[in-house]
Amino acid sequence: MRRYTSIIIIVLVILISVGFASVTTSLIANGVSNVTTNPDDFQVYFSYVYSESGGTAEISSDKHNITYNSKKLTTVGETTSLSFVVTNDSSQYDADVSITYTIEDVVNNKDYSSYFTVTRSSFVNHESMPAKTHTGGIITIRLDKAILEDISLTFNVTLDVRAVERTEEGSGLPDITYGSEEEMMLYSIINDYRINHGLKPYYWDGDLYTAAQTRNLEIQESYSNTRPNGEPYYTANDVKIYGETLSKELMSLDEVLTAWVTNENTYSIVMSDTVEENGESYPPFSAIGCSITNTETNKYISCEYGYRVDL
| 251 pLDDT above the threshold of 90 | yes
- How high does pLDDT run on average in the chain? 79
Q: Is the pTM of this model over 0.85?
A: no
pLDDT digits (tens, 9 = 90+) for 24-38: 333 333 333 334 456
- Give a three-class secondary structure readout of the chain: CCCCCCCEEEEEEEEEEEECCCCCCCCCCCCCCCCCCCHHHCCEEEEEEEECCCCEEEECCCCCEEEEEEEEECCCCCEEEEEEEEEECCCCEEEEEEEEEEEECEECCEECHHHEEEEEECCCCCEEECCCEEEEEEEEEEECCCCCCCEEEEEEEEEEEEEEECCCCCCCCCCCCCCCHHHHHHHHHHHHHHHHCCCCCCEECHHHHHHHHHHHHHHHHCCCCECCCCCEHHHHCCCCEEEEEEECCCCCHHHHHHHHHCCHHHHHHHCCCCEEECCEEECCCCEEEEEEEECCCCEEEEEEEECCCCC
pLDDT at residue 30 in the model: 35
pLDDT at residue 212 in the model: 97
Question: What is the pLDDT averaged over residues 255-280?
Answer: 87
| 164 pLDDT above the threshold of 90 | no
pLDDT at residue 311 in the model: 37
pLDDT digits (tens, 9 = 90+) for 58-85: 888 888 888 888 888 888 888 877 778 8
pLDDT at residue 12 in the model: 59
4-8, 44-48, 212-216: range with highest mean pLDDT? 212-216
Determine which of 25-34, 225-234, 245-254 has the lowest per-residue pLDDT on average. 25-34
